[in-house]
A and B are shown apart, each in its own frame.
Chain A
């Protein structure tokens, strides 16, 4: 490998790294969206008035790239209603009134896996999606006839504040190990590499022990430089392979899976319980009691904050995910979904970014971009409607990691412009 890709030193602010996860009691109401993944919304299979239990199927995968959705509580379905989701899509949500009992569905039982087909089928049933953020249905990644050299487990967790992944590595080591054992037994994978940033000694310790027990597994320590957890960056830094524009890890013979996804797979195979709860880092300067909380999926963000003793400062911005790539949400009624790894609340001081000034052509954006994109050049090109130039500067490669905007001394909205330029390019190409 030539050298590490560029990136930025973000403040870590891992305030919750030494806390164990606390399970919160279920709220009165959960609202579970039918889209918590990349792909088609799942088809609702329950109706108002139906009684459901923890683990009862409430929406069925609609097509290949889609995912099953299960109830996270026991209780009664109140209604199915269309809701605006954080990605801007409107999709039906199943609203369930909890009876507080958390009775488990009778159908939940451990899986006997005897073949690759069994495994793919089980993963498909599990409702597990990429929990690192993208929410791509997990079984699709493994459902391949191509040769797989490496399974790379993403334990980088490079976003500030978030500690739920490293906590999962520490607390659910057994499940991760079980998932690795089953997957490598039925899918031909040459080696398993766990990539972890150096700033997580506890998780590294646990994963080292795991690697000692399983010769197929090795650990790759990564520098604490954002964005180590980005898929293409992780693959390059662990196995030295370059994933080209528009390509997937499988094109270079690798499958990348987040460590929490692996833990969920292990838990599902061992217990039969599908993905119905999620460990979420609750933090931010407005939160009274930052901690990691195990939350039933569909619980509203406001219920979670309330469990963390509410706010010590008035919240002015609430994020799904970390501050570098997280999505700001319009209100606190939005639910915790499958791929929510953190919810952060910020006070006035941190909710608004500094004023934008003129570009001084310092080149910081260009020199920190992991992929060598020229964000300042793209911004100028986009302003003069020169999409060809924007494309030449590499806009299509942009993964929106936020390094450019983070370092810009003029506080220019570079990621935002990249997003717009990418969308414009895409619609232009579709139009042709």
Chain B
């Protein structure tokens, strides 16, 4: 029995979770929304998704190659970033603009800050905001090819002008908007998957959406239908389940999540109501990302039998 034994510090067993299994779960959870987007907006949407994902992965690969860093594309986080960005873009986005957005997300927001886990803001959201400002000709929505709907205005714009949008179209997503944000059924399905797989907890999405609803409800003179329409419009559901829950840029503790979600909800309504852009979800999450380190330091977990006692 002369064979050598491996010595290591405990624990000697490990859960099956890894960064790539978590990212794989997020991709699976986004698939219903992606499929719904392609069905509603046509094959052009598929093109945007393909470009964003491919460019994101290639950018990360090249960055790691040039900077002689260990290759990290296997963790699938670049795929998630590319996919999320695409789902936040309208189907008629010029493909070259989609590519530049993807490069910006990966290189500027993620890799230059040190790669996965080190970015201070969510790459996909920041890239979306960057594109909104950089490409002024980029519309914020494309319109369904599937059915005839009110052309020319997104639900949020219609609602802001005092119009009405049917709840049914908001739920099924046969409305104008970004590729992945319109079909609420698909988004909620994906969100439930993430909850069941314990990738995310309920705190951020539920509190974010509820806060937005309540604040809107107050501002809309307690009109339930109108407030519900506002809540189901724009990128709120996509943002609440998939962007605001990004580990790196949101708090880890329960109370941290509560503060983060309430803040994002209030900001979303403020921007939607008084801002010059019709949609506020991206800006709201981005602003809360910046506040995240502070929220984390305000909300540590209580130590069991710690010295403070």
Contact = CB atoms under 8 A, between A and B. Distances in A.
B303 A373 contact: yes
Interface stretch (A36-44, A49-57, A394-402): A394-402
Contacts of A416: 9
Given A360-B117, A361-B252, A415-B10, 12 more contacts: A302-B1, A315-B3, A316-B5, A330-B7, A351-B5, A351-B6, A362-B247, A372-B300, A372-B302, A396-B307, A407-B15, A410-B18
A317 B305 contact: no
Interface residues of A, number: 67
26 contacts: A5-B304, A8-B15, A242-B304, A316-B6, A324-B10, A326-B12, A327-B10, A328-B5, A328-B6, A328-B10, A346-B12, A351-B5, A352-B6, A353-B8, A354-B18, A358-B115, A358-B116, A358-B118, A363-B252, A366-B253, A366-B301, A372-B304, A405-B11, A409-B19, A413-B9, A415-B10
Contacts of A371: 303-306
A175 interface: no
Interface in A185-213: none
Contact of A367 (B1, B248, B252, B309): B252
Interface of B: 1, 3, 5-15, 17-19, 21-22, 72, 75, 77, 115-118, 247-248, 251-253, 300-307, 309
B252 A400 contact: no
B253 A400 contact: no
Contact of A328 (B7, B22, B116, B117): B7
Interface stretch (A123-131, A243-251, A258-266): A243-251
Interface string A239-279: 00011110100000000000000000000000000000000
A363 B77 CA distance: 17
Given A367-B253, A372-B304, A374-B300, A328 B15 contact: no
B301 A314 contact: no
Contacts of B301: 366-367, 369, 372, 374
A325 interface: yes
B304 A232 contact: yes
Contacts of A236: 304
B13 A350 contact: yes
B5 A361 contact: no
A360 B116 contact: yes
A415 B11 contact: yes
Contacts of A353: 8, 12, 14
Interface centre among A332, A371, A415 (most CB of B within 10 A): A371
Nearest to B8: A328
Contacts of A411: 14, 18
A317 B8 contact: yes
A215 interface: no
A409 B306 contact: no
A323 B12 contact: yes
Contact of B10 (A325, A359, A366, A409): A325
A406 B11 contact: yes
Nearest to B254: A367
B9 A419 contact: yes
Interface in A361-393: 361-364, 366-367, 369-374, 393
Given A328-B5, A360-B247, A244 B13 contact: no
Given A243-B305, A397-B303, A360 B10 contact: no
A329 interface: yes
A337 interface: no
